[in-house]
Chain A
Amino acid sequence: MHRATISLVSAALLSTASFPDAGALRVRTLAVPAVIGREVIVGRAHCAGVTWLLTDVPALTGITIATSTVSSSSVRSLRPAEKPWGLACLSNHELWTLASHDSLARMQTDGSVVERLRLDRPRLAIFGVGDRLLLQQPPSSSGRSLLAAGLPRNLAGFRPWPAPLSQPVSSRDEQIQSNLVKCGLGTTVVPCWLADQVRVVMSDGSAATTAVREFSFVRRSTVDDAVPIWDVALAGSWRVWVLASARGGADGRRAGGRLTRSNRRGTDEGFVDLNPAARLILWADDSRCVLLSTTGQLLEVSDR
């Protein structure tokens, strides 16, 4: 009897240790009309209080969380071969996308392309960090920086980003799959990670202040091993929101299944399983995180 009681107490303690503060996060749906359809979102950026989403229609959608307003425009003036990928919003509010593998395009908020820059080499992805663009170059040999940052009109001045570094691979198709970088939301510090890993690099470009954290708690849920971390948002100088992927949605699309409130040390401070699943994080501060659900609604997760 005594032994059984001890076992029960131990089991209860263990389950608390595995899932600290489980249930402490609350989810509510925000009263905003359906934000976006089923089109694939190929870029996301946040600046000046607005989260911008670029879809492969292509269309540019702006979501202002504070006022619960949404605006959408078609991307215009693209050239026939151009297929935009990625989105960066710089501190001067300029919106940039990769119009093709070797050209950048600047868009206005109404979706019109107003400037083009020819790249010096092919690029795979684009993100923003403060006033700089962060571009991913195709992996060459292993151990090389996969990202480079610089001002958009000074491509010669781009400098390697401290990490992630390219991974050794055994086959041609693995070369892209294992070296594809995803970056989440941040301002002067951005979180970036290799798509198939749970190690996140939080950097402002300086090697001295770059932090690398292993968000191992992500694997406690049934994640999609090809992309265990689906999205990340940094808020303030401490908070990190981590959206873990979910395995096999109803329609086969990948999405985020569990949101964990973490910090720059990488510890689990509580999580919530999302139903419906989330497509991505739109905005976050220390105590709240707003996500776009797979049903097109805005979900607010908070600790209050």
Chain B
Amino acid sequence: MTRKRMAKKCVLAAAVFFVLAAKPAWAQPPVQNQCMSQLAACYYWAAAQAGFWTMWAGGIDCELAMIDCIRRSIAGY
């Protein structure tokens, strides 16, 4: 594996880790600005997917996750 490919994989792993780590614990609704930073990280992850359709589906998943995050923040009791 070349150094460039390894670096790319590290960046991807870091992005995925960031998205998962930022995912709110079930006991705590997120705050709204967390939702937008999660979306940005998720888009970054989606953009790094191989193939147009995987990238496109990843982007849709990011939007749905953002909607769910905002909904939990505002309408979760």
Contact = CB atoms under 8 A, between A and B. Distances in A.
Interface of A: 37-42, 44, 56-57, 83, 85, 101, 122, 124-125, 138, 173, 176-177, 180, 182, 195, 226-227, 231, 251-254, 279-280
B67 A42 contact: no
A120 B39 CA distance: 26
B66 A40 contact: no
A173 B72 contact: no
B40 to A, nearest CB: 11
B54 interface: no
Nearest to B36: A173
Interface stretch (B3-11, B12-20, B22-30): B22-30
A44 B75 CA distance: 11
Contacts of B72: 40, 42, 56
A57 B67 CA distance: 19
B29 A101 contact: no
Nearest to B76: A40
A123 B64 CA distance: 11
A61 to B, nearest CB: 12
A38 B31 CA distance: 16
Interface string B42-77: 000000000000000000000010111011101111
Contacts of B66: 173, 176
A173 B33 CA distance: 10
Interface of B: 26-29, 31-32, 35-36, 39, 64, 66-68, 70-72, 74-77
A280 B29 CA distance: 15
Nearest to A256: B77
Given A56-B26, A83-B68, A177 B32 contact: yes
Given A38-B27, A39-B26, A41-B76, 19 more contacts: A40-B26, A40-B27, A40-B76, A42-B76, A44-B77, A57-B26, A83-B68, A101-B67, A122-B64, A124-B71, A138-B67, A173-B36, A176-B70, A182-B75, A195-B74, A231-B77, A253-B29, A279-B77, A280-B77
Nearest to B39: A173
Nearest to B26: A56
A254 B72 CA distance: 11
A85 B26 contact: no
13 contacts: A38-B27, A41-B76, A42-B77, A57-B26, A83-B68, A85-B71, A173-B36, A176-B66, A177-B74, A226-B32, A226-B74, A279-B77, A280-B77
A81 B59 CA distance: 17
A180 B28 contact: no
B13 to A, nearest CB: 23
A253 B28 CA distance: 7
Closest CB pairs A-B (n = 9): A41-B77, A40-B76, A38-B27, A280-B77, A195-B74, A279-B77, A176-B70, A56-B26, A40-B29
B29 to A, nearest CB: 5
B76 A180 contact: no
Contacts of A252: 28, 31
Contacts of B67: 101, 124, 138, 176
A125 B72 CA distance: 11
